[in-house]
Amino acid sequence: MSFDTLKDDLLSLTDAGLKYAKSKGADQTEIFVSTQKSINVANQSGMIQAIDGRNEGIGVRIAQGKKMGFAAMSSLTDEALKHAVDEALTVAKSMKQDNEGFEKFANKMKPAKDGILDHNIVALTTEDIVNKTNKTFKESKEFDPRIISATARTTSTYGGYAIANSEGVSGSTSYTAYIMVNFVTAMEEQERKSAFDFSVTRSVPEDKNLGKNCSEKAIKLLGSKPLDFTGVLPTVWNPIVMSSFWQTSLSNSVNGRQVVEKNSYFMDKLGDKVGIPELTITDDGQLPEGLNTSEIDYEGVPRQSTNIIEKGVLRSFLYDSYYGRLGKAKSTGNATRGQDYESTPGISPTTIVIQPGSKSFDEIISGIDKGVYVMDSVMGMMHSNRISGDFSVVATSAYLIENGEITHPLNPITIAGNLYKSYLGIRNIGSDSKLLPAVKTPTIAFNGFTVNG
């Protein structure tokens, strides 16, 4: 398939699938087809690995009354399409229990807009990606002799998907993406420190010195000292570590399924104040540079921008059409498929966007007498209790703040607190902002976390 005709080519398959399902006696049908071409290159300590491949297939859901069947095939041929329809219909007819929550598939609506598309990504070759990856690796290694290892990874990808159903939905979307990840380790007198960084775009990026910047961060972490006390301190988190914070705290708490099933901390707090007045969080499925921005979600519902928290007040949860119906709300265009065509729809944010504040990084630091600056990553965030919000993490890349200045790097420290209560304990929201795969966030400073050396 040509990228220029990709959307139309995929739609022709979904239309053919609907017609075939109708001829076989299906009551309600949804046809999902997708294709993705990727080049993945890694340079790990000088060893280069390149994988160039395509992933494509068909997912079919058929409802006979309230009995639901699903089948998938890893091919886009007419034979695979018919086989998937036949299998889904067989499964639906064999189901002994009804899906009581199901009424119909998503309704037809006007599509939204795709994000940035860069045909230069489509034209990239494996050799191009290898050369770009090697450049980043070389930057890392040559920055300082204390850099003992480096890994540079680059993924270039493009593709699209289409959905059609018996309710009249017939839509398609396409995308391009370019992701660079760099990880380095520095060593001096038996002390090892690591750092990493991302570059996430929907177009071929300009040279951002990712390797050099990453190595510089690792070198600055050398010479760390222990934190010789335990206490409740202000903590400043950079955008990379805040990305995991927001994904962990929001993926469950504003997920419509968890709200309906009463597994969400925020389930009975709609309209309540849950954060400081300066906190506004949006799930933006129309952010032009967002990796998950598209015309439609994975059910064919238009993507949209949804205010989750507005000026500290909880305004909305995120829904697909199924749980929107059960929750007596409309779909917010957040249906996703965790394993693409091989899975049925679930709910996930597109790009979580935290509205930047007014203070620069230097201004945030200068206002702290004693605190900690955390960067890059923390260990244990994904194991937090997502219902209660309690967490305890280990920060291996952190600095002590004293008298309004960053003084020296720290040995690993633990930070503990509550994810959801911390929204009300935000001290400052930075004026900076960084785009990561699923989050766009500034630096955030918190009060109220317990720090232990």
Instruction: Summarize pLDDT for 87-98 with one digit per residue, the tens.
Output: 999 999 999 888
Contact assessment for residue 141 and residue 25, using Cβ atoms and an 8 Å cutoff: no
pLDDT confidence of residue 39:
98
Across 27-44, average pLDDT: 98
**Mean pLDDT throughout 248-266?**
97
Q: Do 313 and 250 touch, CB atoms closer than 8 A?
A: no
Mean pLDDT of the residues in the chain: 97
Asked whether residue 207 carries a pLDDT value surpassing 80, the answer given is no
Question: What is the distance between the alpha carbons of residues 382 and 362, in angstroms, rounded to a whole number?
Answer: 29
Beta-carbon count within 10 A of 339 CB: 10
Instruction: Place 141 in a pLDDT band, splitting at 50, 70 and 90.
Output: very high
* pTM, full prediction: 0.95
What pLDDT sits at residue 376?
87
List, for residues 360-418, the tens digit of each pLDDT value.
999 999 999 999 999 988 999 999 999 999 999 999 999 999 999 999 999 999 999 99
Closest to 449 (Cα-Cα) out of 399, 410, 393, 409: 393
DSSP code of residue 5: G
Query: Which H or E run contains 445?
Result: strand 444-452
Taking a C-beta distance cutoff of 8 angstroms, is the pair 69, 91 a contact? yes
- In this prediction, residues 115-125 reach a mean pLDDT of 97
Q: Are the beta carbons of 246 and 426 closer than 8 angstroms?
A: no
- Among candidates 63, 168, 176, which has minimal Cα distance to 108? 168
> How sure is the predictor about 445, in pLDDT bands with cuts at 50, 70 and 90?
very high
Identify the band that residue 206 occupies on the pLDDT scale cut at 50, 70 and 90: confident
Angle between helices 6-23 and 78-94 (to 10 degrees): 40
pLDDT of residue 100: 84
**Residue 103 is which amino acid?**
E
What is the pLDDT confidence band of residue 2, given thresholds at 50, 70 and 90? very high
Rounded Cα gap, residues 287 and 96, in angstroms:
43
| Torsion-angle region of 451 (φ positive above 0: left; ψ -120 to 50: alpha; else: beta) | beta
Residues paired with residue 31 on neighbouring β-strands, in sequence order: 60, 164
Q: With a cut of 90, say whether residue 285 has pLDDT above it.
A: yes
Measuring CA to CA, which residue among 407, 406, 413, 443 is closest to residue 428?
Answer: 443
Rounded Cα distance, 374 and 186, in Å = 18
Q: How far apart are CA 391 and CA 379, in angstroms?
A: 11
Q: Give the number of other Cβ atoms within 10 Å of residue 276's Cβ.
A: 17
Percent of the residues in the chain that have a pLDDT greater than 90, as a whole number: 96
The 10s digit of each residue's pLDDT in 62-101 is: 999 999 999 999 999 999 999 999 999 999 999 988 888 8
pLDDT in tens, 162-203: 999 999 999 999 999 999 999 999 999 999 999 999 899 999
The separation between CA 55 and the C-alpha centre of its own chain, rounded to angstroms, equals: 20
The ranges assigned to domains in the chain are 3-210, 224-453
Write down the pLDDT at residue 377: 86
CATH pick for 3-210 out of 1.10.3720.10, 3.30.450.40, 3.40.50.2300, 3.30.2290.10: 3.30.2290.10
More confident position, 245 or 1:
245
